[in-house]
Structure 1
């Protein structure tokens, strides 16, 4: 069987794209139109010495949590403030982030490279500014995800699993090919680990069993596909269920209603 996962431009395993593809990011510039900058959950601050600090709190759809890092320290002024709401299946990845990320950009030139154009769009408005602001905020979120992954800023959960060189291969395989007839043995083989070692390591890092994670991922994709109007039998096959009846039972256990009802609501 050929590998079902993608690689990055460098030829290495691409741990994020299958999740980022499923992110839905809505952005409102809190610096315009009388919006509430205090409750913005993404901010860029600059201090008197010109140093920049990026802070993001991903846990709330309505705004930032009450974290000290979200507030300015003495001599800091806010340059950018945005309300960012993230939905879609890829939200699992964002939910795996720390409750609040605060990054000094003097230490992260990679992040600075995208934050500077964002500041420019706020301080020097031009045609197409709203669209540019939206897309730049999306890129900032993606680069923050990379930053958190590379810095190992999660002890357990999805980010922790993706940071492990072998567990990440199995996770990406699940994300890329949910309809594959995965078994514990096949996932362990994909990760290059023994069955027992894989099962124990996966549970320790991700916080749930491999087959439990696979089942939840399939059902989350199924719900998203039903919302687009796809037929139940097509979604069942796409997500790796043996039959529409088996899919309906699993879906009803997870969400408390049949997949047919979800499809009707979407229609």
Structure 2
């Protein structure tokens, strides 16, 4: 059972490396734009000040991961020996991406705590501080692989307490979630999903809500709307989108869409610019 491939098939990530080398000074991120960020501290130390007022002093190789735009600032003084590699992140579907939305505003982790990344990081740092041709393109792909490996780490270690990824990390709920992810057109019932999870209907419904924060019905609607947002951004006509995500008509899609986003599909698409 592959818990990530369907998600990444719909909502993959694109990385754009924008910095590698010695860093000294102050730089702010996440104030504008639609991209997330990832910063890798390869050596030295750096201060990381978050939009929520928290402050981190990183003095060992570390990862700072922002899946969505989030205000933060990097600070380093002369003599800190700071060596950074940084990239922007853009998940498919933009603001409608259920995968990015399931992640916290940020994660800050020492690299030693994520051994799964070791081989990729060795290659990425070699490219970042080397002189090989095509290094930027290679680094972009390695950053994208890093995100997938980080998601694997979170699932394997149950790194999130609630939401989609917490559900996928649960051996019973993951079966039901995969069914909804793989076949959103099907009118899934709680009884069908409970059977897939080998649980009673009542136990499944209670456990599903406790872990994901939503009822199974709400989750299915949220997943369908997220898929619809991606298809709309891809230029698909609304009748096609409605059929693809399991609604019998554009008006049925519009009702679900408005319930989750506060706007109609056309209004939402216009607002995306």
Q: Which category describes the TM-score, using the shorter chain as reference length?
A: 0.7 to 0.9
1:263 Cα shift? 6.2
1:31 partnered with 2:20: yes
Offset from partner CA, 1:180-227 (integer Å, 9 cap, x none): 121111111222211111110010000111110100110111121122
Conservation of the 8 A alpha-carbon contact between 1:45 and 1:76: no
Question: Which of 169, 177, 191 is the matching residue for 1:171?
Answer: 177
Q: How many residues align?
A: 247
Conservation of the 8 A alpha-carbon contact between 1:43 and 1:54: yes
Distance in 2, matches of 1:119 and 1:60, equals 24
Per the alignment, do residues 100 and 76 of structure 1 end up closer, same or farther by CA in structure 2, a change over 3 Å counting? farther
1:204 partnered with 2:210: yes
Higher mean alpha-carbon deviation, 244-253 vs 89-98, is at 89-98
* Residue in structure 2 matched with residue 46 of structure 1 by the alignment: 43
1:266 Cα shift? 8.2
Offset from partner CA, 1:119-171 (integer Å, 9 cap, x none): 01111022111110100000111111111221221111122111110101111
1:61 partnered with 2:69: yes
1:61 Cα shift? 2.1
* Residue in structure 2 matched with residue 239 of structure 1 by the alignment: 245
* Residue in structure 2 matched with residue 186 of structure 1 by the alignment: 192
Q: The residue matched to 2:85 in structure 1 has which SS?
A: strand
Q: The residue matched to 1:57 in structure 2 has which SS?
A: strand
Distance in 2, matches of 1:37 and 1:130, equals 23
Compute the TM-score of the two structures, normalised by the length of structure 1.
Answer: 0.79
* Residue in structure 1 matched with residue 6 of structure 2 by the alignment: 18
Give unmatched runs, 5+ long, in structure 2.
Answer: 29-36, 46-58
Question: Which of 67, 86, 89 is the matching residue for 1:85?
Answer: 89
Higher mean alpha-carbon deviation, 85-94 vs 179-188, is at 85-94
* Residue in structure 1 matched with residue 32 of structure 2 by the alignment: none
Per the alignment, do residues 111 and 76 of structure 1 end up closer, same or farther by CA in structure 2, a change over 3 Å counting? farther
From the two aligned structures, give the one with the greater strand fraction.
2
Distance in 2, matches of 1:177 and 1:203, equals 21
* Residue in structure 2 matched with residue 144 of structure 1 by the alignment: 150
Distance in 1, matches of 2:245 and 2:84, equals 41
Distance in 2, matches of 1:54 and 1:203, equals 34
Give unmatched runs, 5+ long, in structure 1.
Answer: 1-12
Conservation of the 8 A alpha-carbon contact between 1:226 and 1:262: no
* Residue in structure 1 matched with residue 236 of structure 2 by the alignment: 230
Conservation of the 8 A alpha-carbon contact between 2:15 and 2:143: no
Distance in 1, matches of 2:198 and 2:85, equals 44
Conservation of the 8 A alpha-carbon contact between 1:52 and 1:106: no
Per the alignment, do residues 262 and 156 of structure 1 end up closer, same or farther by CA in structure 2, a change over 3 Å counting? closer
Q: The residue matched to 1:45 in structure 2 has which SS?
A: strand
1:56 Cα shift? 2.1
